[in-house]
Structure 1
Amino acid sequence: MRVFERAAAAGGGASTEELTLPGFRHDVCSAVHPLAFESRFFREFGLTRRVPFAVPEISFAHPLDGGRAGIAYRDLERTAENLGADGRAYASLMRPLVERSTRVADFTGDTLLRVPRDIPTALAFGLAALEQGSPLWNARFREDAAPAMLTGVASHSILPLPGLASSGAGLALTSYAHAKGWPIPIGGSQSIIDAMVADLLAHGGELVTDHEVGSLDELPASRVTLLDVTPRALSRIAGERMPQRYRKALGRFRYGNAVAKVDFALSAPVPWSHPELGRAGTLHLGGTRAEIAAAENAVAHGTLSDSPYVLVSQPSLFDETRAPAGQHTLWTYTHVPAASRADRSEAVIRQIERFAPGFRDTILGMSSRTAMDVERHNPNYLRGDISSGTPDLAQLLRRPVVSPDPWKTPMHGVYLCGASTTPGPGVHGLAGWHAALSALRNDFGTRMLPNLSPDHVSAGE
């Protein structure tokens, strides 16, 4: 097996680099990995035996004005106890999914065109998503912390709010937060990639870096080719080999809005006004449910919000390898319209200052990337779209085409994988896993699952 990588090192959206000052290591895109413990591929791969993780007791937190906050502990009951009048409502919504978190991951990690293997889990998930994805999303709540928490997680999707796809994504991620937590890889997201590269090499594979593939004709002869690119790039690389009907279908694939990213080197931890926020691995900033919905819907309409939603990670609180002793890294991004060239660093700083007065005084260095900078780093993030295609309900059914086997292309032995295919964005390895299983079925005539465990490698098998 030979893997070609366009960049100087493998990693892409899961790479870790010094972006601000020497000694400060920042995750370039993904930072916290809710599916590291739940993804079917990572479970088969034995990821937790290959990579050390820190699992914060507080999976995520949501600051509100007046020094208040919603705190999502790994313990669902403790979370509910601190949500006051809405605690019981929050727990009743989440408990059926938390108790089935791995089955939720398996259900959402496959194509929605297949009959679910676990009907009760699919029904529980679907009913919760219908509620939180409709104008009735506030019906069960009386206060603002619990709905703000759910909206903060749903906003990971970069979709208008409320919506079925955004609520589904948010509920799945929240269930993992209360089941096994949101883990942070020690050493950065690059540690996950390094483990996968090590496994490739251990099996006799080869990694070729600094090599951009411009055409299928450039590749050496092989029985199977898997391409981790967007549908647009696949059309270009395949050239005349691609049937016109399939090319037209790929041409209907829609790309979504984008992110602008800001990384900070800090002299001290963020001075949050609520004491528990300093123990959270992830924070969602933006205020109430209504405020965040307004900010996200502004992006959906092609404008920038003066009070944006900001996603924040504090890895150096849990991993001392990320910054020099006594200092810290802070990872943030905010949503912007596709292809935006706006530098959002000042808007991000203002939003952090809203909940952490004095934050600006801790900044030693900063790296800011616009949506177009994000694309330049990784062309799969077309116009800054880190989802590699709008993850709305229509495109979860058609990702990238309507098919029970969407990874297989009409070209013999050619498969598409990556975030533009089912099950969509996220660091979970499932698109490649499904594409590889499809190739085993279609080109090698076997449905036998490969043994991916570390023991299999160490045994030399």
Structure 2
Amino acid sequence: MTGTEFDAVVVGTGPNGLTAAVTLARAGLRVAAYEAADTVGGGARTEWLTLPGFRHDPCSAVHPLGAGSPVLRGWPLHDHGLTWLDPDVALAHPFPDGSAAVLDRSVTRTAASLGADAEPYRRLVGPFLRDWDDLAADVLRAPLDGLPRHPLLLARFGLRAAQPVALLARRFGGPRARALLAGLGGHVMAPLTTPATGGVALLFALAAHRFSWPAPQGGSRRLSEALSGYLRVLGGKVFTGHLVASLDELPAARAYLLDVTPRALAALAGARLPDRYARRLRAYRPGPAVFKLDYALAGPVPWTAPECRRAGTVHVGPSYAEIDASLRAVHRGRAPEVPYLIAAQPSLADPTRAPAGQHVLWVYAHVPNGWTGDLTGPVEAQLERFAPGFRDLVLARAAAGPAEVARRNPNNLGGDIGNGRADGLRLLLRPVPVPVPYATPDPAVFLCSAATPPGPGVHGMCGYHAARTALRRVFGVDGGP
């Protein structure tokens, strides 16, 4: 032990920051976590954005990789108030004829919704259905940071995962499976011709078959509160309402782990980092933004497709071509005329989210970073296309363009919820292409945000790997799960 009050200090209490803090505390270290906001959570919060009684998630809402996280699954978060709620259907993807493809725990039901592409879908996911635990541990990490535990499994997965959705979609002859795959790949916010988008789509599909796509009961804040509660039980301290402008303001410690953007890392560390490295951090490019809408509704969304009325998540984009066009427009710096939408209906499975008989709806579309327009009209036109009468149910709405998204969470620069571009190799080699991206030239300073692999998503793995790196390099301990 040192003579300081804390062994390690974490800045930022999003899921990655809290996971890093818990990992350190589980290793017996004295840990403090600092948060600028009045509550913990980063992008995993729940607030009353519209009307009293309607609980909305300002950023993340549904967490397929949270329930399946190799680290979070092993911690007693249920003892601290976390309960995962599974919708009847993980994901539905509606079509203009009133039908829908589904992504369900059951591969059989999923395949049946794809018509003639049922068997090609089974061949795509079948080889990995029993291997989530081994596969997730090797995929959700920095690819150059040590050897994988299961190299043959990872190699088999990698042959598919390295492909863009555009290539992976050629396995299917019909439009339903191609649209479903495009919708899954669209979470990357990059053109469908981008390498590794197929891997993201496949990973989301496998997560659904193993864990569904659940949401925390009571909203995303429950996950953050469970992590912070567990940290406190382990002896960690949490300081909210404390904006850190420089590492010099913090208590002396042997390690500092920052759940911030690369630009913020450069600013906080200041002269502790070499000029060349700091310039690379400041040059780190944010990705596309989102235009987000939260609705208080008088009743459930009147989807034409019955499957959508039971789904926790709905992807709104009726064809591969339409989703591709929306993503390409954003990549070229334009807002899409017909946006691809990712929508969540948490109140279908969780009645605590809205007054009796009423509902919340969470939806966003992709727009260019820093875009200043209003996409409410096109978003609602797209919803009406598949849920006629939707506007009649709207009691209140809260619209958030890129500027508001960034105000809610400083890590969302220009409205980018992914903490950096994900096209090309930027999803795998971030923020700079080095084997151990969590470490910095200063041996006491580490980056633990989604700007490191495996990137965006509520899974805590960026924080976990950063903490493991600090434990090995600074404290000389392994600090396993």
Question: Aligning the two structures, in what range does the TM-score lie when normalised by the shorter sequence?
Answer: over 0.9
Match of 1:44 among 74, 78, 88: 74
Q: Tell me the amino acid that sits aligned with residue 120 of structure 1.
A: L
Verify the 8 A CA contact 1:97 1:124 in the aligned structure 2.
no
Name the CA shift for 1:414/1:318 in 2 (closer, same or farther; >3 Å).
same
Match of 1:65 among 84, 93, 96: 96
Q: Tell me the amino acid that sits aligned with residue 46 of structure 1.
A: P
User: What is the match of residue 32 of structure 1?
Assistant: 62
Residue 300 of structure 1 deviates from its aligned partner by 0.4
Q: Tell me the amino acid that sits aligned with residue 463 of structure 2.
A: G
Residue 136 of structure 1 deviates from its aligned partner by 3.4
Name the CA shift for 1:185/1:282 in 2 (closer, same or farther; >3 Å).
same
Q: Tell me the amino acid that sits aligned with residue 107 of structure 2.
A: L
Residue 117 of structure 1 deviates from its aligned partner by 2.1
User: What is the match of residue 154 of structure 2?
Assistant: 122
Match of 2:242 among 208, 211, 215: 211
Question: Structure 2: which 5+ runs fail to align?
Answer: 1-30
Q: Deviations over 1:224-276 (max 9, x none)?
A: 11111111011111111211222133234221111111000000100010111
Q: Tell me the amino acid that sits aligned with residue 11 of structure 1.
A: G
Secondary structure at the aligned position of 1:87 is classed as: helix
User: What is the match of residue 11 of structure 1?
Assistant: 41
Secondary structure at the aligned position of 2:293 is classed as: strand
Paired with 2:165 and 2:53, the residues of 1 have a C-alpha distance of: 46
Q: Tell me the amino acid that sits aligned with residue 417 of structure 1.
A: C
Q: Tell me the amino acid that sits aligned with residue 118 of structure 2.
A: G
Residue 100 of structure 1 deviates from its aligned partner by 2.1
User: Higher relative contact order at CA 8 Å, sep ≥6: structure 1 or structure 2?
Assistant: 2
Paired with 2:133 and 2:208, the residues of 1 have a C-alpha distance of: 12
Name the CA shift for 1:93/1:48 in 2 (closer, same or farther; >3 Å).
farther
Paired with 2:479 and 2:200, the residues of 1 have a C-alpha distance of: 30
Residue 289 of structure 1 deviates from its aligned partner by 0.7
Residue 135 of structure 1 deviates from its aligned partner by 4.5
User: What is the match of residue 14 of structure 2?
Assistant: none
Verify the 8 A CA contact 1:61 1:277 in the aligned structure 2.
yes
TM-score by length of 1: 0.94
User: What is the match of residue 449 of structure 2?
Assistant: 418
Match of 2:279 among 248, 253, 260: 248
Verify the 8 A CA contact 2:165 2:197 in the aligned structure 1.
no
Q: Deviations over 1:49-79 (max 9, x none)?
A: 5411111231101011111211112100121
Verify the 8 A CA contact 2:140 2:461 in the aligned structure 1.
yes
Verify the 8 A CA contact 2:166 2:192 in the aligned structure 1.
no
Match of 1:364 among 384, 395, 405: 395
Q: Give runs of aligned pairs for residues 296-315 of structure 1, distance below 5 A.
A: 296-315=327-346
Q: Does 2:255 correspond to 1:224?
A: yes
Name the CA shift for 1:46/1:202 in 2 (closer, same or farther; >3 Å).
closer
Q: Does 2:359 correspond to 1:319?
A: no
Verify the 8 A CA contact 2:142 2:429 in the aligned structure 1.
no
Residue 173 of structure 1 deviates from its aligned partner by 0.8
Paired with 2:227 and 2:207, the residues of 1 have a C-alpha distance of: 23
Residue 4 of structure 1 deviates from its aligned partner by 1.0
May I ask how many residue pairs the two structures share in their alignment? 449
Match of 1:433 among 464, 468, 477: 464
Secondary structure at the aligned position of 2:43 is classed as: helix
Q: Deviations over 1:363-403 (max 9, x none)?
A: 00100000111111111001011011112342234211222
Report % sequence identity. 46
Q: Give runs of aligned pairs for residues 446-457 of structure 1, distance below 5 A.
A: 446-449=477-480
Residue 212 of structure 1 deviates from its aligned partner by 1.0
Q: Tell me the amino acid that sits aligned with residue 21 of structure 1.
A: L
TM-score by length of 2: 0.90
Name the CA shift for 1:182/1:411 in 2 (closer, same or farther; >3 Å).
same
Verify the 8 A CA contact 2:428 2:454 in the aligned structure 1.
no
Residue 134 of structure 1 deviates from its aligned partner by 6.0
Q: Tell me the amino acid that sits aligned with residue 403 of structure 2.
A: M
Name the CA shift for 1:202/1:46 in 2 (closer, same or farther; >3 Å).
closer
Paired with 2:97 and 2:177, the residues of 1 have a C-alpha distance of: 16
Q: Give runs of aligned pairs for residues 27-426 of structure 1, distance below 5 A.
A: 27-48=57-78, 50=80, 51-113=82-144, 114-131=146-163, 133=164, 135-426=166-457
Verify the 8 A CA contact 1:260 1:336 in the aligned structure 2.
yes
Paired with 1:374 and 1:81, the residues of 2 have a C-alpha distance of: 38
The Cα RMSD (Å) is 1.5
Residue 48 of structure 1 deviates from its aligned partner by 4.9
Secondary structure at the aligned position of 2:426 is classed as: helix
User: What is the match of residue 457 of structure 1?
Assistant: none
Paired with 2:169 and 2:64, the residues of 1 have a C-alpha distance of: 25
Q: Deviations over 1:264-314 (max 9, x none)?
A: 000010001011111111010011011100111100000111110100000
